[in-house]
Amino acid sequence: MSVLNFTQVLVLLTLVQAAISHSWIERVFRMNSDGSFADNTGYALGFMPRDAFGYSDENVQNKILDPSSNPLVCRQFPQGDYLNSSYGPLQAAAGDYVALTYEENGHVTDPGLTSRPYRGGLTYVYGTLQQKAGDKLNDVQKWNADQTGGNKKGKLLATHYYDDLQCYQKKGLLDGPTFPIYMERHGKYNVDELDCQTDVQLPKDLPESGTYTLYWVWDWPQKPNEVGTVPEMYTSCIEIKLGPASAKASAMKQGIKFAKQGKVDNMGIASQVNHMIEAATLESYLPSPTGANGIKTVTVTAAPTTVTQYRTVMAGNGAQQTGPATASTLQTSVRSGSSAAAPTNNVPVSSVTPFLKVRATGKARRDAGAQ
């Protein structure tokens, strides 16, 4: 029997680590007016560099398997909230755009590894000026965008998909990736690896001093939209040290004008910045496999008289996609057992509206006329 050499053992350990790794916010960036990341970098509570002595996934991630128990949204880390001054909180101001970045650890590159929601589930970002060590997950999840939900101590700032449609990492033995998503994105962006990100804008009415806390919540259950769905969530907590906005920063509060030639690994994502709430809830996800051109197909089973509204839009690659209609779009009858394509980047069908009125015929019509 052959004996594994040191390199082979190291590779095997790396593969095992990748297979069990999950995600947490590692670095936090403030965006400049052109979408690029500013020089100052912030970190999440409990951050440890991956090459630090004693580092492990278990030391930095907050995994929640029973959200019904209303666990703490922020984990109390054995290494403390901030390891040292080299990995402290981000300095930012009211109205700033911020990117929360994380490694996908194979959950984007190899989406078929386990049965999970569309685009890896949702990431939510909540913000509060009243952070307490005892803040509970379920309480925070009641916060809404206008700060009228739950205990009203915070608000929902953003909701994005885990897969931001550009991030990827190397997969495979000895860095020999063969996964289609890696190959396509690596060919497009031509960087070694690309972190995922969740972009958010800080409220414009924040004070010029103090601490604003962000709660990042990744909802990643198994077997979405099926009986027996198993919850699995991860959270990260990020402190923002508030200061007065610079004149240059104040000028960008109406939005960011993304540089056309910006470096993809050093800038925010325009689609996220322009649409902070990309999807509403996990219940709206489509569990069917992704087909050609990134279009997902879902089978709609309904009674013959049920009608669903759809609209046709153009995706970024020019392909047509079908999704929820508005009042001004064409109404189309969907019969039992038929199917329709749904968009890959927006909120799914939100209403089912009948528009056919049942008319009496034959004897029933004559009887009605005699009454």
Q: What is the CATH number of the domain that holds 224?
A: 2.70.50
The reply to whether 216 and 77 lie within a common domain is yes
Q: Is the predicted pLDDT of residue 138 greater than 60, yes or no? A: yes
Q: Are residues 303 and 259 in the same domain?
A: no
271 and 239 within one domain: yes
Do 195 and 314 share a domain, yes or no?
A: no
Amino acid at residue number 218: W
Q: Is residue 368, in this structure, part of any structural domain at all?
A: yes
Answer whether residue 211 is part of any domain: yes
The reply to whether 3 falls in a domain is no
213-228: average pLDDT? 83
Number of structural domains (the chain) is: 2
Does the pLDDT of residue 325 top 50, yes or no?
Answer: no
Do 214 and 320 lie in one domain? The reply is no
Same-domain check for residues 217 and 305: no
Compute the mean pLDDT over every residue in the chain, rounded to the nearest whole number: 73
Highest mean pLDDT among 13-17, 47-51, 194-198: 194-198
Q: Give the structural domain span for 300.
A: 293-371
Q: What is the mean pLDDT of residues 314-328?
A: 42
| Average pLDDT over every residue of 130-145 | 94
pLDDT of residue 37: 96
> Do 187 and 321 lie in a common domain?
no
Per-residue pLDDT, 319: 47
Residues 221 and 297 in one domain: no
Q: Examine the fold and report which residue of 230, 261, 284 is the final residue of a domain before the chain moves on.
A: 284
pLDDT over threshold 60, residue 238: yes
User: Of the ranges 9-23, 187-201, 324-338, which is most confident?
Assistant: 187-201
Asked if residue 313 and residue 248 are part of one domain, the reply reads no
Residue 10 lies in a domain: no
Which of 231, 249, 284 is where one domain is finished? Answer: 284
Residues 253 and 328 occupy one common structural domain: no
Determine, yes or no, domain membership for 11: no
Question: Does position 370 have pLDDT exceeding 80, yes or no?
Answer: no
Of 14-18, 165-169, 205-209, the poorest mean pLDDT is in 14-18
Domain endpoint, select from 260, 284, 308: 284
Question: Is residue 283 scored above 70 in pLDDT?
Answer: no
> What predicted TM-score, i.e. pTM, was given to this entire model?
0.71
